[in-house]
Structure 1
Amino acid sequence: MFVIIADQVDSRHDRDHVDEAIGMLTARFGDRLVLPPERTAGDELQLLVADGATALAATLALLRDDHWRAGLGLGAVLEPLPAGVREASGPAFIAARAAVEAAERRPLRCAVRGDAGAEDLGALVDLLLAQRSRWSAQGWELHDLLERGLTQGEAAAQLGITPQAASKRARAAGLRVDAEARAAIGRLLDDRAGAAADSGEAPTGVAGA
């Protein structure tokens, strides 16, 4: 499974964003979560996810604004599961704690931890984040419509632009590459989490973050 721990950046000089982040995650991913997000300590939240695609999507959603750093931990979770994520435990939670601590020192505010191969996946997530950091507001606007299931033509009509202009926006942002990369990373996360759970290997620490 996958545990996401997100910690608010510079919370001493900003208002609390935990409740709105929990609302966003619940609205977007609620039926795909094993245990829904909860505030765990002060300005921190935590959630449990069963599949790599959802874990990646939730992590990217948190990191879309500058309020959060996020750690994604993969591995086994002790069962039976409790009613709330704050009472859950297991290697995936240990890995997520190491990941969010590592994320504090990373420029893109994200880290992946689990078994020995998990950090390699973190580098791929960094590539996605670096690419997205260059998107224009128009690129994000088109991305959001496509993610809602609209075709590019339908998105163009809603934006009041020509299909050719929408295609140009999509190419400029690399939206197709982004979507294909997210699908591939999601599959790799599933493979890595399964390997970590089967091996029983202890989560890696924060060294080398």
Structure 2
Amino acid sequence: MRLDMFVITADQVDSRHRADLADEALSLVSSAAEGRLALPPDRTAGDEVQALTDEAGAALEIVLALLRTGSWRVGLGIGPVETPLPADTRAARGPAFIAARDAVESAKRRPTRFSAAGDDGAVQALLDLLLALRDRRTAEGWELFDLMEAGLRQQDAAGRLGITPQAASRRALAAGIRLDQAARPALTAVLAAADAAADPATRAPGSPGVGVDGED
């Protein structure tokens, strides 16, 4: 029996010359998923980590959290996973895991360091747009973003930061915070639709959803 799910496989950037960040990434994945993982996240091979979830929102938040660090290339596989699930993510099997493997390899050649496999290409295109927006965000923009994500109104966040409401408004606009907040629910819906329709077993590298353009 198979169940459609999301597999996230992440490979550390420049791991030969940097400290091993896998344990840190596993904690980050668990925090981003907020209890919505099908199994505990795992280190698979070397510095690679993997997570499994059946919730589109959790998959999106994991991908965004890992990519925000700048330390990971991330592949997202969408499609069937064999059930019953084993005790460990690294022991699980199914076309979604193969798709995630293809995707993380593709991510090494993409400027966003992200690739999706198992959909019609919509997830890739839309997430690339959001990632491009986030890539231009300054440290000050992220500071305001985090306060607003924590539930503060923009005016209250301005007070916390010691800036005027007008300055906060300009910072929010430059950081694309409202666009980011509007895009994520829409992306979650696109991911959920892709999960319902996906058959990664029929997709190969270079098919829609496994694009390879740009250089890392």
The TM-score normalised by the length of structure 2 is 0.89
Aligned equivalent of 1:204: 203
Instruction: Give the direction of change, closer, same or farther, for the CA distance of 1:201–1:74 in structure 2 (3 Å limit).
Output: closer
Aligned-partner Cα distance in 2 for 1:90–1:67: 27
Q: Does the residue aligned with 1:63 lie in a helix, a strand or coil?
A: helix
Letter in 2 for 1:75: G
2:159 equivalent among 138, 157, 169: 157
Aligned equivalent of 2:178: 176
Aligned-partner Cα distance in 2 for 1:82–1:205: 26
Letter in 2 for 1:159: L
Deviation of 1:27 (Å): 2.7
Task: Map residues 86-165 of structure 1 onto 2, 5 A cutoff.
Answer: 86-115=90-119, 117=120, 119-165=121-167
Instruction: Find runs of 4+ consecutive structure 1 residues off by over 3 angstroms.
Output: none
Deviation of 1:48 (Å): 0.6
Deviation of 1:194 (Å): 0.6
Q: Does the residue aligned with 1:75 lie in a helix, a strand or coil?
A: strand
Deviations 1:101-124 (A, max 9, x none): 110111110000014x1x331121
Aligned-partner Cα distance in 2 for 1:159–1:50: 37
Deviation of 1:81 (Å): 1.2
Deviations 1:8-29 (A, max 9, x none): 0111111101111111222332
Deviation of 1:149 (Å): 1.9
> What stretches of structure 2 of length at least 5 have no aligned partner?
none
Letter in 1 for 2:152: L
The TM-score normalised by the length of structure 1 is 0.92
Aligned equivalent of 2:43: 39
Deviation of 1:203 (Å): 4.5
Aligned-partner Cα distance in 2 for 1:53–1:29: 8
Greater displacement, 185-194 / 119-128:
119-128
Q: Does the residue aligned with 2:93 lie in a helix, a strand or coil?
A: coil
Q: Aligned residue pairs: how many?
A: 204
Aligned equivalent of 1:13: 17
Aligned-partner Cα distance in 1 for 2:38–2:173: 35
Query: Is 1:72 aligned with 2:80?
Result: no
Deviation of 1:69 (Å): 0.2
Deviation of 1:138 (Å): 0.9
> What stretches of structure 1 of length at least 5 have no aligned partner?
none
Letter in 2 for 1:14: R
Aligned-partner Cα distance in 2 for 1:63–1:28: 12
Contact 1:74/1:96 (8 A) holds in 2: yes
Aligned-partner Cα distance in 1 for 2:21–2:140: 25
Greater displacement, 24-33 / 92-101:
24-33
